[in-house]
Amino acid sequence: MKLFTPRSLALAAALAFTLPVAAQAADTYQIDAAHTHVGFTISHLGFSETYGVFKNVSGTLTLDQAKPQASKVDVTIDVASIDTASEGRDEHLKGPDFFDIAKYPTMTFKSTKVKVTGKDTATVTGDLTLHGVTKPVGLVVKFNKAGESPIAKGRYVAGFSALGKLKRSDFGIKTYLPLIGDEVTIAISTEAVQQ
């Protein structure tokens, strides 16, 4: 079973297309790891879908209200933080058959293009580096909300959701193909705090 990504990254992921006036052009935001979920699903032998997450995610967003297409995201994921609810499977995934974290401990996503597609949606394309390979990956991003946190006064927060797909074989991760799926579906939800 295998892989993710994304975050990107994706992460990632995240751009602001129509942020409220409280956010100024080209503001920098820090990803809030405690409120960021980078999940993935992959077919297991055709019988079921295996779900997993990467727990340790960090990165920044540069959100440009005046020129949303100039917004950027830069995310790093600690691959060893993978959790598929099976300790044995997680250890196998960390090993040389799959992620090989001894050689490739992190994956990164750096956006290269933002295309605004609607009032609160965009397509974010970026370079995903995973398992020593860098390839372009696209994410469909939805802007959820931005504003002052009602709990942490004085903290301005922007929230996004993103979906994407990739082929693990494109990144040189081919163990058990085609028994374990090649296509990986990515789902990201993130909050980022204005700096």
User: pLDDT tens across 89-135, in order?
Assistant: 999 999 999 999 999 999 999 999 999 999 999 999 999 999 999 99
8 pLDDT tier (thresholds 50, 70, 90): very low
pLDDT at position 5, please?
35
DSSP label of 125: E
The residue written with tokens 């999940």 in the block is 39
pLDDT at position 85, please?
97
Mean pLDDT of 175-190: 97
Task: Dump pLDDT digits (tens) for 41-91.
Answer: 999 999 999 999 999 999 999 988 788 889 999 999 999 999 999 999 999
Angle formed at CA 132 by CA 128 and CA 137, multiple of 5 degrees: 15
Q: What is the DSSP string of 152-180?
A: STT-EEEEEEEEEEEEGGGGT--TTTTTB
Q: What is the DSSP string of the chain?
A: -----HHHHTT-----SS--TTSPTTEEEEE-GGG-EEEEEEEETTTEEEEEEE--EEEEEEE-SS-GGG-EEEEEEEGGGEE-S-HHHHHHHHSTTTT-TTT--EEEEEEEEEEEEETTEEEEEEEEEETTEEEEEEEEEEEEEEEE-SSSTT-EEEEEEEEEEEEGGGGT--TTTTTB-SEEEEEEEEEEEE-
Global confidence as pTM: 0.85
Mean pLDDT of the residues in the chain = 88
Delimit the domains of the chain by residue range.
6-194
Cis, bond preceding 178 (omega within 30 deg of 0) = yes
Beta bridge pairs of residue 102: none
pLDDT at position 14, please?
41
Q: Which fold has domain 6-194?
A: Lipocalin (2.40.128)
Share of the chain above pLDDT 90, in %: 78
